[in-house]
Amino acid sequence: MVYKKITKSGGITLPRQVRRESGLQPGVPVEVISGKDGVLITRHVPACFNCGSVDSVKEILGIEICMDCAKEIWRCFHDD
């Protein structure tokens, strides 16, 4: 168990051992979820905003979308 203090600006540094064990390396996006029992920090898994799929997801214009949904949108604009 490691105890850390929250900085005046509201930040907290995750200990090296915790980062290594959880695979949270620099640059890895995370989700911060608050609840009545505390805070949960998990690795962010990109998911399609439309169907919820986690397969072949890319972020485009700030929106996470899977290849299948992107193809469907493409078809809507090019269906002649």
Cα diameter, the chain: 62
Here the CATH number for the domain that contains residue 2 is: 2.10.260.10
pLDDT in tens, 4-30: 999 999 999 999 898 888 888 887 788
Q: Which of 23, 13, 15 is nearest to 45 (CA)?
A: 23
Kind and range of the H or E run holding 65: strand 63-66
59 and 35 share one domain: no
38 and 60 share one domain: no
69 and 36 share one domain: no
52 and 36 share one domain: no
pLDDT band at 73 (very low <50, low <70, confident <90, very high): very high
Count: domains in the chain:
2
Q: Which domain holds residue 27?
A: 1-44
pLDDT in tens, 36-65: 999 999 888 899 999 989 999 999 998 999
Mean residue pLDDT of the chain comes to: 90
- Is the pTM higher than 0.85? no
36 and 10 share one domain: yes
Q: How far apart are CA 55 and CA 72, in angstroms?
A: 15
Q: Which of 29, 72, 73 is nearest to 47 (CA)?
A: 29
